[in-house]
Structure 1
């Protein structure tokens, strides 16, 4: 089943006589009361625990996806991990990277709403944990009670001699890695994933644990204030995407995922709940860049159709009218044009602060 993004506005207008949804104006389906997305550590402990409960709720909720489409699907949370796996090769190192993930986060945020979370998706501002190894390890994001929990248990090995049974997820060696095993502490300790490693969506009667492999120096090498500043200085979307996807975006993934961790897995990274807060900040970075010249940048899109084809040797660039979607059996579909502004159409949110 395909759900048109525009139909969400139509549905809101149909029901407007009964109740006006927050953020929707009846006459235009425009954004009048945007939800606010806030940095994780600025939330009260009560709010952080409520968000964690909503994530766990999705992990225990029945999936919308058929096993014909994703044989290993077990939960509503799996719906999101599975669709990311299926689309990873078409949504990374291409022009649609940012629009696709903006739609993806919107769909995730709406799913959280069904589990009692009515606020905006929290985000992880990497700059606040950038300074030292100690700053990274002591981040409130990794709090064992009101956070995502900590590192994985230590697993030996490197990229050329990995520990048997532990798939390599990083694109290069991580000499600063500190973990690699199952999440040891916090609300997601010993969490398992129905999917992975990599592009595997088959049914697994014995799901593997979600792993973390904190690598703070690798995080600092490609993430932090200087890299964010460089991102904000890019003159157009093509350069912005080409510069940021392997830097500030990759840094959050590799800083948490290291060599063995799920966050370093291009396909199955959403299996780790940190993914959503990291990508919340990825979207925040794009919006921060857009806001520096919104009149033009709300229509500025480019980048290759084919992975890494920045010279257009094998295909052209994407356009505003190209289609993106989230979901497999139940598919939310729209054009890139519809997600270029975060306060138009069904999108209706703002960030508490921008870069």
Structure 2
């Protein structure tokens, strides 16, 4: 049965409570930290050798679509009414709007060490101790808007710049491409500050703290952010009917990207699924 992912700003008090409770239960069982470990493992950059699947590659979108589905299925095993809401950061743009409320994700980190002190995911609640990460910190951190070097969330027009591109991705299929929907949405640019991080990437930087780097899954907003990124892919697909995931075929031995990117019909590690199989999710979920 097809279920619905909702805008986080429209959730009822009961829906917020059930989402939080399901997340905390996954954490209590130890399942949640497996998701953190998986994301750290597949956080591979252009400069490293081997296959790139989660970032800086065409498979950025299908990889995170499947990752999000795995988390959502785990949540629904706890409570079948729960789905992952999406955070539309082109509309909810302040540090006090959804999802930064005490009854959902809590707010910004305190000034001294950026530790989140409010909401159910605060370290003081006793239910959200970080065990997997690139530092030894046990508490969730945020620096919404980056106090020391202020950064603005992407605007609707900036997102439109990605959605308007009719081609999914282009060679050399990495973080340097300036054409194609995938990297315009993923957001690898050049220069400093806002120019260096667009759309998806800039949101990670705007949230700051735990959301910067491979262990970003430690902040539950990761899922709401990626649900919106997934919705953007869904909207792009509908706008550009017939446009498909690229590359359709793997780059050959003469290419610098040989065996470094996943083509449309190749398996997408760590799953036994291809990007082609993840392009149509209409039989699984819809967006409100």
**TMscore range, shorter length:** 0.7 to 0.9
Pick aligned residue for 2:72 from 100, 103, 109 = 109
Task: Determine whether 1:182 maps to 2:109.
Answer: no
Aligned-residue offset at 1:278: 0.6
* Residue pair 1:54, 1:117 contacting (<8 A) in 2 also: no
Q: TM-score, normalised by structure 2?
A: 0.80
Aligned-residue offset at 1:248: 1.3
Task: Determine whether 1:319 maps to 2:279.
Answer: no
- Point out the structure with the larger strand share: 1
Aligned-residue offset at 1:112: 0.2
Instruction: Give 1:81's aligned residue.
Output: 36
SS of 2:263 mapped into structure 1: coil
Superposition pairs of residues 74-223 of structure 1, within 5 angstroms: 75-89=30-44, 90=52, 91-130=54-93, 136-144=94-102, 146-155=103-112, 180-190=113-123, 191-197=128-134, 208-215=138-145, 217-220=150-153, 223=154
Q: Superposition RMSD on alpha carbons, in Å?
A: 2.2
Task: Determine whether 1:42 maps to 2:10.
Answer: yes
Superposition pairs of residues 59-74 of structure 1, within 5 angstroms: 59-61=27-29
Instruction: Give 1:301's aligned residue.
Output: 246
Q: TM-score, normalised by structure 1?
A: 0.66
Pick aligned residue for 1:251 from 198, 202, 225 = 202
Change (3 A) 1:54 1:43: same
Aligned-residue offset at 1:313: 3.8
Counterpart-to-counterpart distance in 2, 1:44 and 1:80:
27
Give aligned pairs, total. Answer: 249
* Residue pair 2:15, 2:82 contacting (<8 A) in 1 also: no
* Residue pair 1:51, 1:117 contacting (<8 A) in 2 also: no
Change (3 A) 1:225 1:303: farther
Instruction: Give 1:242's aligned residue.
Output: 183
* Residue pair 1:152, 1:183 contacting (<8 A) in 2 also: yes
Change (3 A) 1:303 1:138: farther
Q: Which runs of 5+ in 2 are unaligned?
A: 45-51, 170-179, 188-197
SS of 1:154 mapped into structure 2: coil
Instruction: Give 1:5's aligned residue.
Output: none
Pick aligned residue for 1:334 from 244, 263, 273 = 273
Counterpart-to-counterpart distance in 1, 2:225 and 2:13:
19
Change (3 A) 1:303 1:269: farther
Change (3 A) 1:303 1:338: closer
* Residue pair 1:303, 1:317 contacting (<8 A) in 2 also: no
Q: Which runs of 5+ in 1 are unaligned?
A: 1-22, 24-33, 62-74, 131-135, 156-179, 199-205, 307-311, 327-331
Task: Determine whether 1:233 maps to 2:160.
Answer: no
SS of 1:109 mapped into structure 2: helix
Change (3 A) 1:303 1:214: farther
SS of 1:350 mapped into structure 2: strand
SS of 1:46 mapped into structure 2: helix
SS of 2:152 mapped into structure 1: helix
Cα distance per residue 1:184-228 (max 9 Å; x no partner)? 111111132111117xxxxxxx762121111164233xx120111
